Structure 1
Amino acid sequence: MLVLLARDGRHPLGVGGVAREVHELYFHWFGVLAEGGFPLDDPLWQYPPAAGPVLLSPALLPGLSYFQGFVALALLADAAVAVALARAGRRPGRSLAGAALWVGGLPLLLHIPLARYDVQVTALAVLALLCVARRPRAAGVLAALGALVKVWPALALLGTPRGRSTRASWGSALAAAAALLVVLAAAFENPFAFLRQQGGRGVQIESVGGTALAFARLAGQPLHVEYRFGAVEFTGPYVTAVAHASLFATVLGGAALVLWRLRARRWTEATPFDAALCGVLVLTVTSRVISPQYLIWLLGLAAVCLSSRATSQRPAAALVTAAAAVSTLGYPLLYEDVMASTWTGTLVLFVRNVLLVAAVLLSWRGLWRSTVSARPPLGPTASTKPPQSDNSS
């Protein structure tokens, strides 16, 4: 991954420019944040306020440039996830398959993970999930920190067992989030500037809705692409309808997750892991935007699921891994074809998005069957009563 990062922009790495986001955009934001304020009226700033300290953190490493410090911290976060999964995998009833998936799966995304701060965010979510069973308050704090950087880590608490664990983790998450917001509001100006930029986002060409628009463009519809809000988006007919459909699908997906939470009756050690992966898959597939770095989140959560032998998410994890491999064909290798909506670029994204849709369906089915519709297995974990003999036999 480091070698590819050094060769960014050269053949055969497609359009290149993967590292440009750190060199230019992140470094620009670093300068604004260092002056004590969040970017104001910047359409590219769409992140919660705790993203500020993450983008400032490379300056804490002496003797390194901003880019070198950023990559070093991404590598440290990568190592932290691998070590945490390996340690968790050695416990009784656990598996090292999760650590293997993370170590072997992340390079499928080439050098993208080292040039985005999603590895750091994923590390917070992974650590939160691994803490749920034994340290629910610590899990809540870690999930809150992640949520204030990129929102989605809040779903790490979706599947916490009812009762003390849920009260402890959710309560500590709310307290930590409130405390951190107070600190950030006192330290920086305009901490909620990001909220202004969310409503205007359109349909990114790599999203599920974007794939439908790409086929429409191939069929002759007057659709065009334009760089807006930090992503290449479609403009033209049907775009607004697809954007509204995506938002409606997100609402339906959220309602389905709430329904699951209300109906779930059986918890295993893997249920919090499985619920987190399912929740983030729903959020990703229904989104108007599916950036390549979103696969980092899914790989991390799939790895946590595979760290438990009780998981119901093995099929979904396999599809997520396959989607990560295909995703790098879409960006950066064949991104020019994707932007031009050629048959090659469109079919690559179609395959990637079909894999993600199939993953969310299998993930939901596994989660529902393992917690709602499935009968508890016979054994000491299912009942404290000994089995009665059948006298008629």
Structure 2
Amino acid sequence: MLWLLTHDHLPWLGAGGVTHEPERLYTRWRETLDDGSYPSGDPLWQYPPGAGAALLLPGLLLPRLPYPWAFTALTLAADAAVAAALVRTGLTRHARGDGERSLLGALLWTAGLPLLLHLPLARFDVQVTALAVLALLVVRRLPRLGGALAALGALAKAWPALVLAGTEPGHTTRRAWTSAGITAVTLLALLASLFADALSFVRQQGGRGVQIESLGGTLLSFASHAGWPGRVRYQYGAMELVGPGVGVVAAASLTLTAASFALIVLWRLRVVGATRAATRAAARAAAPQGRWDPALTHDAPLAAVLLLTVTSRVISPQYMIWLLGLSAVCLTLRRSAQRPVALLVVAATAVSALAYPVLYDEVVARTWTGCLVMAVRNGLLVAAAVLSCVRLARLTPGRGDGPHEGPGPASRGAGHAPTATPQGPPPG
């Protein structure tokens, strides 16, 4: 990956210009931040305020290195931190009743990230993913720390807030979510006091259209072969489609994103309600209380982020870094139901490298090759999202095979004590 980073000009790497961000764009933003302001006049700035801190850190921690080198060094450090945390977790067995652990998560992260070629070293998504991964790995034991780490990630890119979607109802959720809220508000207030235009990203983000790599963009690209007159234009830092009907596709994507978020909230409410009902039933039967299935803590964030990814107007290739990190966390637990989903994510990651940077000219030109590559990548992501939600539902309390299901009539009639052992599906 480092070698590719220094040979970004090779013909077979396409014309994507992967190293443009740290060499030019991030350097320019860092200079603006050094002057005490967010780049509010730059339409390419579309990130929450915490992203500014992520871009300032390389220069602050490694001031003697050229900024692109310092940025890469910190990215490698974040990558190493994720790998070390996954290895340590994989070597821990039966901690706090979590069940047997596995090193498959560390293997997926280590072998999966290079499938994106050198892209991960030229974006700050590895740093954000590191915060999300660490938050997930510690939230059951140290909910306050897990909540704080999730908030730090969410302030750079909003999606890490979803890593708290599967926290155990009760004191774990209260501590994690309270810590996340306090951390987010405190840091946001601090950044707003130190830098001008801290919330300027909202304006730029709201103006984004349909990026060519998105699901809607893929459909419009195929439509161009049937006579659709739209074209591709560089705007808001991406190649977006413009023309008749694009506004409808963008609105449909936003509607689906909102519906996905509502589905996540409804699932969470159902989990909380079913858990409380199981606790009351166990108390009435004077039986041991059914414990929370740890697989839900890991699996729910992956399903949530997959849903919001496939409905997005963007789906940039660096989104795959997020999904690789969350999939790796799931695979640290043998009981996880997301193993086949992780395989689909890895396959989609490999195809993403073809779409960008290798065949990006074909994608932008909307040739049949470019359209088919994007159709395969996005098709794999849609399949992963659907499968992830289906398998997550099987672990949800309240189902016949859920972790909190009580004994059936036969066992009650035979006088057997209710079991507290989770009865979810076997590992994928």
TM-score after normalising by structure 1 = 0.95
- What is the CA distance between 1:63 and its match in structure 2? 2.7
Contact kept in structure 2, 1:108 and 1:325, CA below 8 Å: yes
User: For residue 342 of structure 2, what is the amino acid of its counterpart?
Assistant: A
Name the structure 2 match of 1:163: 170
Name the structure 2 match of 1:86: 87
Tell me, in whole angstroms, the C-alpha distance in 2 between the residues paired with 1:157 and 1:119.
Answer: 19
The yes-or-no answer on 1:375 pairing with 2:404 is: no
Contact kept in structure 2, 1:36 and 1:187, CA below 8 Å: yes
The yes-or-no answer on 1:295 pairing with 2:296 is: no
Name the structure 1 match of 2:361: 336
User: For residue 293 of structure 2, what is the amino acid of its counterpart?
Assistant: T
- What is the CA distance between 1:16 and its match in structure 2? 3.8
Name the structure 2 match of 1:144: 151
SS in 2 for 1:149: coil
Name the structure 1 match of 2:136: 129
- What is the CA distance between 1:262 and its match in structure 2? 1.4
User: For residue 75 of structure 1, what is the amino acid of its counterpart?
Assistant: L
Question: Larger deviation: 309-318 or 367-376?
Answer: 367-376
Contact kept in structure 1, 2:395 and 2:403, CA below 8 Å: no
- What is the CA distance between 1:390 and its match in structure 2? 5.1
Name the structure 1 match of 2:186: 179
Name the structure 2 match of 1:319: 344
Contact kept in structure 2, 1:9 and 1:16, CA below 8 Å: no
Question: Larger deviation: 264-273 or 156-165?
Answer: 264-273
Name the structure 2 match of 1:96: 103
Tell me, in whole angstroms, the C-alpha distance in 2 between the residues paired with 1:376 and 1:195.
Answer: 40
User: For residue 228 of structure 1, what is the amino acid of its counterpart?
Assistant: Q
User: For residue 23 of structure 2, what is the amino acid of its counterpart?
Assistant: H
Question: Larger deviation: 218-227 or 347-356?
Answer: 218-227
The yes-or-no answer on 1:39 pairing with 2:39 is: yes
Tell me, in whole angstroms, the C-alpha distance in 2 between the residues paired with 1:163 and 1:148.
Answer: 25
The yes-or-no answer on 1:154 pairing with 2:156 is: no
Contact kept in structure 2, 1:211 and 1:350, CA below 8 Å: yes
The yes-or-no answer on 1:254 pairing with 2:246 is: no
Contact kept in structure 2, 1:136 and 1:165, CA below 8 Å: yes
Tell me, in whole angstroms, the C-alpha distance in 1 between the residues paired with 2:314 and 2:167.
Answer: 28
- What is the CA distance between 1:299 and its match in structure 2? 0.2
Tell me, in whole angstroms, the C-alpha distance in 1 between the residues paired with 2:10 and 2:401.
Answer: 55
Name the structure 1 match of 2:48: 48
- What is the CA distance between 1:217 and its match in structure 2? 0.7
User: For residue 80 of structure 1, what is the amino acid of its counterpart?
Assistant: A
Tell me, in whole angstroms, the C-alpha distance in 1 between the residues paired with 2:402 and 2:299.
Answer: 17
- What is the CA distance between 1:235 and its match in structure 2? 0.4
- What is the CA distance between 1:62 and its match in structure 2? 3.8
Tell me, in whole angstroms, the C-alpha distance in 2 between the residues paired with 1:11 and 1:98.
Answer: 33
String of CA shifts for 1:26-63, please: whole Å, max 9, x gaps: 00000000011111221111101111111011112143
- What is the CA distance between 1:113 and its match in structure 2? 0.1
Contact kept in structure 1, 2:135 and 2:146, CA below 8 Å: yes
Rate the CA distance shift 1:382–1:69 in 2: closer, same or farther, 3 A: farther
Rate the CA distance shift 1:382–1:64 in 2: closer, same or farther, 3 A: farther
- What is the CA distance between 1:389 and its match in structure 2? 9.3
Tell me, in whole angstroms, the C-alpha distance in 1 between the residues paired with 2:13 and 2:360.
Answer: 10
Name the structure 1 match of 2:70: 69
Tell me, in whole angstroms, the C-alpha distance in 1 between the residues paired with 2:11 and 2:80.
Answer: 29
String of CA shifts for 1:274-303, please: whole Å, max 9, x gaps: 111011101110000010000000000000
- What is the CA distance between 1:374 and its match in structure 2? 4.2
Name the structure 1 match of 2:308: 283
- What is the CA distance between 1:377 and its match in structure 2? 6.1
SS in 1 for 2:155: helix
Please point out which of 217, 233, 238 is paired with 2:224.
217
SS in 2 for 1:253: helix
SS in 2 for 1:226: strand
Tell me, in whole angstroms, the C-alpha distance in 1 between the residues paired with 2:115 and 2:72.
Answer: 17
Tell me, in whole angstroms, the C-alpha distance in 2 between the residues paired with 1:375 and 1:58.
Answer: 49
TM-score after normalising by structure 2 = 0.88
SS in 2 for 1:225: strand
Contact kept in structure 1, 2:231 and 2:243, CA below 8 Å: yes
Q: 1:233-252 to 2 correspondence within 5 Å?
A: 233-252=240-259
- What is the CA distance between 1:382 and its match in structure 2? 7.5
The yes-or-no answer on 1:362 pairing with 2:387 is: yes
User: For residue 253 of structure 2, what is the amino acid of its counterpart?
Assistant: S
- What is the CA distance between 1:9 and its match in structure 2? 2.1
- What is the CA distance between 1:376 and its match in structure 2? 4.2
User: For residue 89 of structure 1, what is the amino acid of its counterpart?
Assistant: G
Tell me, in whole angstroms, the C-alpha distance in 2 between the residues paired with 1:50 and 1:376.
Answer: 38
Tell me, in whole angstroms, the C-alpha distance in 1 between the residues paired with 2:29 and 2:7.
Answer: 25
- What is the CA distance between 1:107 and its match in structure 2? 0.4
User: For residue 337 of structure 2, what is the amino acid of its counterpart?
Assistant: S
String of CA shifts for 1:86-122, please: whole Å, max 9, x gaps: 0011111111000000000000000000000000000
Contact kept in structure 1, 2:362 and 2:369, CA below 8 Å: yes
Structure 2: where are the runs of 5+ without partners?
94-99, 276-291, 416-428
SS in 2 for 1:270: helix
Contact kept in structure 2, 1:376 and 1:382, CA below 8 Å: no
Percent identity reads: 58
Contact kept in structure 1, 2:302 and 2:326, CA below 8 Å: yes
What count of residue pairs does the alignment treat as equivalent?
Answer: 386
Name the structure 2 match of 1:346: 371
Name the structure 2 match of 1:20: 20
User: For residue 12 of structure 2, what is the amino acid of its counterpart?
Assistant: P
Tell me, in whole angstroms, the C-alpha distance in 1 between the residues paired with 2:254 and 2:179.
Answer: 30
